[in-house]
A = this chain, B = another copy of it.
């Protein structure tokens, strides 16, 4: 049994554990396998490639702490972050032979990962993996709608609400605040904007009282109001 949740970056067990346990009801064997897996961690420095687009995927990984992002680089250097990868997220889990990475993964902070228990060994874990997979897809769809149909202000608000929602699954939020260990340029690359414009919109959001962001900590003063303002509905993926 795991108790006592550590602070964001320090711990080496709680975030992924409580997230997966929330996605499905894990039985004792699943919990044991997870605890065992989590005991063998791997550490990455910031700005390292975890995976390179087009290359073989060695093994799936479970993020224990730190942030990463999937990224696609255009030929002329333009860069688009496809999604953020947060503690508790699974990456590289595919069901076919010799999967190739559909995108590169780059760490944004120091990061620790482990190899999750294999798929197909435990039904309750498989269920959690499947739900995680469906959530990942739902977040990709949300990203498409953001980039395609929202203006800069809405994109920022919507993404912050999503991050809050996701981090809260891993107990990494403090009320309506959370640690946001990225630069404005990174945020711009995720939102399909330029850093300059993101900067301006963030200031507008602060003036409007929608978002407060300083020294790596982001606060959403009134999440419900912001959700209404950007027209956001929480994401659900399973009827259970």
Contact = CB atoms under 8 A, between A and B. Distances in A.
Given A75-B231, A149-B74, A239 B144 contact: no
Interface string A82-104: 11000000000011111110110
Interface residues of A, number: 50
Interface in A101-150: 102-103, 126-127, 129-131, 133-134, 137-138, 140-145, 147-150
A197 to B, nearest CB: 13
Contacts of A76: 231
Contacts of A237: 96, 99-100, 102
Nearest to A128: B96
Interface string A17-44: 0000000100000000000000000000
Question: Taking each of A75, A95, A144, which has the highest tally of chain B beta carbons within 10 Å of its own beta carbon?
Answer: A144
A96 B134 contact: yes
Given A100-B238, A236-B100, A240-B98, A144 B79 contact: no
| Identical chains in the assembly | 2
A176 B99 CA distance: 29
Contact of A127 (B79, B96, B133, B150): B96
Interface in A140-165: 140-145, 147-150
A191 B192 CA distance: 14
Contacts of A134: 94, 96, 99, 102
A166 interface: no
Given A56-B239, A140-B141, A192 B98 contact: no
A165 to B, nearest CB: 15
B96 A130 contact: yes
Contacts of A130: 94-96
Interface in A185-240: 191-192, 231, 235-240
A74 B231 contact: yes
Given A96-B134, A102-B137, 5 more contacts: A80-B148, A83-B144, A97-B127, A137-B140, A148-B191
15 contacts: A54-B236, A70-B141, A80-B144, A80-B145, A80-B149, A94-B130, A95-B129, A96-B127, A96-B131, A96-B133, A96-B237, A97-B240, A98-B239, A147-B147, A147-B192
